Amino acid sequence: MDIQLTEEQELLRGSLQRLLRDQYDFDARRKIVATDEGFSRKHWNAFAELGLCAAPFQESSGGLGGGPLATMIVMQEFGRNLVVEPFFETVVLAGGLIEDAGTPAQCEAYLPPIMGGESIWALAWAEARSRYDFSNVDTTARRQGESYVLSGTKAAVIGAPWADKLIVSARTSGGPRDRSGVSLFVVDRHSPNLHLQGFRTIDGRRAAEMTLMNVQVLAEQLLGAEGEGVAVLEACRDRAIAALCAEAVGAMTELNSSTLEYSRTRKQFGVALGTFQVLQHRMVDMFIALEEAISFTHHLNLSLAAREPHGSKLASGAKTKVGYAARFIAEQAVQLHGGMGMSDELNVGHYFKRIASINTQYGDPTYHLMRYAQA
Amino acid sequence: MELSLSKEDAAFRDEVRTFIAENYPPEMRVPNPETDLTKEQMLLWHRILHRRGWIAPLWPKEYGGPGWSITQRFVFEQETSRAGTLPPLAFSVTMVGPVIYTFGNDAQKRKFLPRILSGEDWWCQGYSEPGSGSDLASVRTKALRDGDHYIVNGHKTWTTLAQHADWIFCLVRTDPAAKPQAGISFLLIDMKSPGVTVRPIITIDGAHEVNDVFLEDVRVPAENLIGEENKGWTYAKFLLGNERTSMAGIGRSTRYLDRLKRIVKSDIPEDDPSFGEFTRDIARVELDLIALEATELRVVAQMARGIDPGAAASLFKIRGTEIFQRITELTHQANGNYGLAIREHPVSANHFMPGPDYGHTASEKYLNSRKLSIYGGSNEIQRNIIAKAVLGL
């Protein structure tokens, strides 16, 4: 199942690696995170110019036709460099939803600015008490003539403070937690009566709690069939998981190599740390965990690319397996770096935090373990 | 779980319990007392305990200790930690104090001990250095004798709350030619001395708890040397023994576990796929905690009968930190999507933090508790100690 990248994919990876090496080292990233806005438009534009934002979309939509494997390549490099710019939110989540569920008119209106890097999106599905359940939606959307009127509160919307547009889930019919009756809407971030309360995330991004008080959207901003939003979100989650696993693999790769390097150079009791057998075995387990995570991530992305059945169950399996592996590696990388692993100055702790965040987004490893078992 | 207490000890326990309930300062009940309090606020409880004569349970009566039995000391520790009170600064009361009254001269005892008890002097620990990790004998900070002074040059790191400190107790190398453990001395340094610089280290939870302390040509009066020159390693090991006895943290883990249960009960519906798994995970960690608590009670009962606890401190440190780390990890997970948020430090009322109040410190606690298996002798080192001291390997 070893993935042989095509020439085109190698090119994509190579040019992205060069860009990140030249412009996105840990210091540059630290400065970006510390700015008022919290991400860099300059780097975002550079990513778009490289074609990243168009890479996964089908050629018929105007994309480069790279599919899940292109996303995987990008996310893995982003994971290695702790990139904060909203590729995942804009391209993988919103772009994927629009391409999957949008009308031709919606695709034509929304996808080109996404592919060109001109518009930034965020996905608002969670609510204060929803946990990871897409059908647990209290926000309502009432039909009013040619419009819908949205009211409610969405929780922990990552990237919302940066977004031009949002995709919001709201209930058009049914009772709380009914699977049917949830619909998706494209909402302008600057709509009247839409308020954000921003906060920083554990991994240096920005997110917001979002209140909608009678926000009016046109009927043509309904994305996908009315009341069928949960299934659309579930398919979106499979793609999201594939992307997050790739990002986690990138972060784990860096953690393993810095830990190994550290254990070779750092002396304790007169000898290199790496000479202690207990630490050797720990690092062997970290190596094995990474190998398994890479394999599972490839396996999932190939399945999604081939549109194989049971992809969703496999996605939950990957989120579990890769999530536990990533947590193990992150915890041990901090442990083996000792006090330095706790310091904000070293990148190790920042990989730890990104992995903690990945393990929270779209369901933690335990949630997906049980979903896998029950599927 | 309770130690079987005599009538007198049970009365003592009730007295402690009532005293805490009536006297613990409400302004110290903040979301995260370890990071959210000013120096003055941290000292409030210290001063109250001092007035009551309870500030230094470990100390002999002649130096200002309360003269408690092992059982009473344990009961006090248990009650204060169950009640979630902020322990008095360990570097002062638990660490340097006993070194001074055990190895210091009369002048040093008279000068330092009363100010430790009253909270007038705040102490920090100058053990770790860059590159030293758990190998403390690798001290490189040098102290050269110059008449009736030492001239100290070096760099201490991971120095907890040095930003508040009046004094630092340092391991310094006084004989560069001797074997690592043999050339070390134990020196007390006034933080206001010219040449002492404190630089904050921000940790991954965003907090400022630890620091670098730079010592450049610091002139230290020779009268601040504890015991004999080049015998510092003996005193340092004595101090570390005290550091490691209190690391089981049963009271703290019990409080955090109770909170975790409440969060799971109120936030995770029973038909959530992970509800059952949470229940099992909580049960597992609770059983670990009960086993550790029972072990602690067994060791305390043995100590009360005069039996040496051996390497029990290492066992407490390993399991106590592993259990607390697991609880903070599960608590972070129980917060679901709000586990993505983290408070900004320094904490201010102006920063918006989403989600229910009880979750606001979950992320920072999860991150911060990673240090527990690293500091005070890493858990790997503790396992080495048990392998050597208990198993004879």
Query: Is B93 inside a domain boundary?
Result: no
For chain B, report the end-to-end CA distance as a whole number of angstroms.
34
In a domain, B110, yes or no: no
B97 domain-assigned: no
Chain A residues whose CB is inside 8 A of the B281 CB are: 366
Task: For residues B31 and B127, state if they share a domain.
Answer: no
A147-180 pLDDT tens trace:
999 999 999 999 999 999 999 999 999 998 999 9
- For B34-67, write each residue's pLDDT tens digit: 999 999 999 999 999 999 999 999 999 999 999 9
DSSP labels for A230-252? HHHHHHHHHHHHHHHHHHHHHHH
Q: Is residue B190 part of a domain?
A: yes
Nearest CB to B333; choose among A130, A342, A366: A366
Residue type present at position A207: A
Q: Are residues B264 and B311 in the same domain?
A: yes
Distance, CA of B56 to CA of A94 (rounded, Å) = 60
B99 within domain boundaries: no
Domain presence at residue B103? no
The reported pLDDT for the residue numbered B246 is 62
Domain count along chain B: 3
CB B44 within 8 A of CB B107: no
Residue B32 in domain: yes
Question: Which residues from chain A sit within 8 angstroms of residue B355, using beta carbons?
Answer: 128, 155-156
| B-chain residues near A372 (CB < 8 A) | none
Q: Which helix (H) or strand (E) holds A319?
A: helix A311-337
Q: Does the annotation mark B129 as catalytic?
A: no
Q: What is the pLDDT of residues A89-129, one digit of tens each?
A: 999 999 999 999 999 999 999 999 999 999 999 999 999 99
Quick one: B204 and B293 in the same domain?
A: no
Residues of A in contact with B362 (CB under 8 A): none
Comparing alpha-carbon positions, the chain A residue that sits nearest to B325 is A331
For residues B305 and B209, membership in a common domain is answered with no
Candidates A123, A129, A200: best to mutate against B (most CBs of B within 10 A) is A200
- Does the beta carbon of B127 lie under 8 angstroms from any beta carbon of chain A? no
- Tell me how far apart the terminal alpha carbons of chain A are, to the nearest angstrom: 24
Q: Which superfamily does A231-374 belong to?
A: Butyryl-CoA Dehydrogenase, subunit A, domain 3 (1.20.140.10)
Average pLDDT (B63-74) is 93
List b or e across B29-47, with b for residues whose CB sees 16 or more CB atoms inside 10 angstroms: eeebbbbbbeeeebbbbbb
Looking at the domain assignment, is residue B317 inside a domain?
yes
- Which of B63, B88, B113 is the C-terminal boundary of a domain? B88
B33 and B129 together in one domain: no
**The two three-digit tokens of residue B245, written as one number:** 């006895």
CB A266 to CB B351 under 8 A?
no
Inspect the interface and report whether the beta carbons of A278 and B380 lie closer than 8 Å.
yes
Q: At residue B265, does pLDDT exceed 80?
A: yes
- Examine the domain organization and report whether B350 and B272 are in the same domain: yes
Which CATH architecture is the domain A122-227 placed in?
Beta Barrel (2.40)
Contact flag A339-B370 (C-beta cutoff 8 Å): no
Domain range for B50 is 7-88
Region for residue B13 given its phi and psi (left: phi exceeds 0; alpha: psi -120 to 50; beta: otherwise): alpha
Question: Mind telling me how many Å the CA of A147 is from chain B's nearest CA?
Answer: 30
Which residues in chain B are contacts of A357 at CB distance < 8 A?
Answer: 340
**The pLDDT of residue A3:** 80
Residues B310 and B184 in one domain: no
* Domain CATH number, residue B318: 1.20.140.10
Which of the residue ranges A55-69, A244-258, B1-15 would you say has the lowest mean pLDDT?
B1-15
Q: What angle do CA A300, A125, A128 make, to 5 degrees?
A: 120
CA dihedral angle for residue B37, residue B43, residue B46, residue B52, rounded to 10 degrees? -120
Predicted local confidence at residue B22, as pLDDT:
98
The Cβ of residue A104 has, within 10 Å, a number of other Cβ atoms equal to 8
- Taking CA atoms, what residue in B is nearest to A267? B131
Banded pLDDT at B243 (limits 50, 70, 90) = low
Give the helix, strand, coil percentages of chain A, each rounded to 5.
55, 15, 25
B336, B342, B374 member nearest A342 (Cβ): B374
Q: Hey, where are the domains in chain A?
A: 7-119, 122-227, 231-374
Q: Which CATH superfamily is domain A7-119 in?
A: Acyl-CoA dehydrogenase/oxidase, N-terminal domain (1.10.540.10)
* Nearest-CA distance A353 → chain B (Å): 8
Asked if B74 contacts B3 with a C-beta cutoff of 8 angstroms, the reply is yes
